[in-house]
Structure 1
């Protein structure tokens, strides 16, 4: 697995893209969107994302015990999600609280939308 950091994603780059079923992406669009999927492509991060998205906000102190991983490892995964633009965080005292960025998921959902006509053609 690559240890290269993911670039911080500009969500406006995702918003520019038509649904993938509408027309093929060009190289720049694919490069802009790939980090979002890469961030979600890890089972730990996907599970963290699910936990964060299921509540209005959640403390890292509630996330860490759900995994058989060290605190620094969980922090790394949360940083990847944050750098990808999928979550926001706020430090309150000694703890960090996380919440989903709904616009990122709306844009990903729009990107993955398959029109009804395409479903009927299957």
Structure 2
């Protein structure tokens, strides 16, 4: 039976812990990776969280698979990953994908506005 977006979101939210800025700062302070999964056009328009690494949601699978030439070494299965997107939905789906691929420590910070509203610094580069 085909899945609906609602069902996919429920599974993602059940699998990937939603965290606040204080918990994100703790994880990042211990060497975690802050990962922006928005599209490039979104980053150009708003900037990104300072220190965030960018891999768009659409290419995450190819960047996360160590067997591929497109693998991004910033993604390590022993490194906690804190994801964010525009509102939190893509971050949840991306987090579930990473967990399905064997990444154990994956967290959803939510949206870029959550970062900004909590006083997170923004980089325009």
Greater share of strand residues, 1 or 2? 2
Structure with larger Rg: 1
**TM-score relative to the length of structure 1:** 0.35
Tell me which protein shows more helix as a share of its residues: 1
Normalization by structure 2: what TM-score? 0.35
